[in-house]
Structure formats: structure tokens, C-alpha cells
Amino acid sequence: MIQVHSIELPRVGENTYALVNEHKEALLVDPGDQAEQIIAWISDQGWLPQAVLLTHGHLDHIGALDAIRDHYQIEAYIHHTEAEFLTDPQLNLSAYMGPKVIQRPAEHLWQTTGAKQVAGFEFEIRHVPGHSPGSVIYIFAEDRFVISGDTVFRSSIGRTDFPGGSLDQLLSHIRQEILTLPGDFRLYPGHGPATDVQSEQVGNPFLHNN
């Protein structure tokens, strides 16, 4: 069984996740900022990070990536369409929002979607562009949860006014790739509280008014 733990990083208001198995091995998702705080959190729990999964390459999801990779000697995964986001402040938006964020390239690029395995963790990837061109979600069907990044939030959706964004694209992919999942699947977003598929099917105004 995989347990989902999160820490909110106040400087960027972003949720970094640790997905932890029974052996205390962990996949880290979107280390957005404040690496020292993330490392202290992990150390306090005694978790053993194995890899970093990225939902997309915007600055508030990658700001601590190199520090985390260096500290734990682990590797990162991102969708191939956002390979250059890690190294390009204009693409990751940090050129327009404070200190520039430049990280090393990811060691692994998702070239396909579907069933994947990393460090013994099994999950499914789905491509959900619209907030950014290479946004993906990570579905852990056996444990009935989804890491949804900045695609859908509780009663909201991701911004689409950034370069490469598209409201129509995001809405259509949320409906096709997320709302078709079982209603009790928990959704863990990049910002704000968790929700579930059924709640967003029924009550998300952005998905009913567009």
C-alpha cells in the first residue's frame, strides 16, 4: 500500500508529495522550492527517496529539483515535450517571476503514456495538456489516487494563460482523462486541498460552465 504525504511550500504555495511504500521507500513529486525544508521533512519521517516524478516543468514545481537530486543521488522524470523547461527560465516562467530557475536536464523523459514502473512503484501516466504542453497525471489505481498536478483543483482548474496553455485543450483532457476515472479516486493537486473525481464531476463550475 502506498501512502500519500504532502508538504506545502509557502513561498510558492505548492504541494510537494512523497508517495511512500511499506518499506519507507518514496517517490517524490514536484519538489517546488525550499529544498532544506523538504529534506528535513523527509529525514524526520525516515523515508528513502528513490526518484522524482514531475507533473510539469513550471518554476514552482521544479525549484528544488537539483538540490533534491544531489542530496539523495536520485533521478528525475518529465514528459518529453517539457524537457527544455528545466533549463530555460522563459519556458519554466521564472524569467518573469523572480529569481531565474535553471536546473539540469531530467535523466528520463516520458515518451509514451500508459503503464509504467519506477523503483518498484507501478502507476499509469496520462497526458493532460492545457495548463502546460507536457502536463501529466500519475494514476495509482491499486491505491485509488491520482497525482493531478495543475490540471484540476477542488472546484477549479489550472491556469491556461501561460505560454503553451489552452483552455479548450485542458477542459477536453480533464473530461477525457480524469473525469472518466472511478468517482472515489482521490485527486492530489499541485496547489490547495485534495479532492476526488466524483466531487469534481458534480461540483466543479469550470467543468460545467465551459
Q: What is the pLDDT of residues 123-158, one digit of tens each?
A: 999 999 999 999 999 999 999 999 999 999 999 999
Confidence class for position 182, pLDDT limits 50, 70, 90: very high
Q: What is the pLDDT of residues 44-100, one digit of tens each?
A: 999 999 999 999 999 999 999 999 999 999 999 999 999 999 999 999 999 998 899
Q: What is the pLDDT of residues 152-170, one digit of tens each?
A: 999 999 999 999 999 999 9
Residue 96: all three cell numbers together: 518573469
pLDDT for the residue 208: 83
| Residue 83: C-alpha distances to residues 15, 61, 80, 132, 187 (Å) | 21, 14, 5, 12, 25
In this prediction the pTM is 0.97
Instruction: Report the length, in residues, of the chain.
Output: 210
pLDDT for the residue 11: 81
Q: In angstroms, rounded to a whole number, what is the distance separating the alpha carbons of residues 190 and 193?
A: 9
CATH class of 3-203: alpha beta
pLDDT for the residue 98: 81
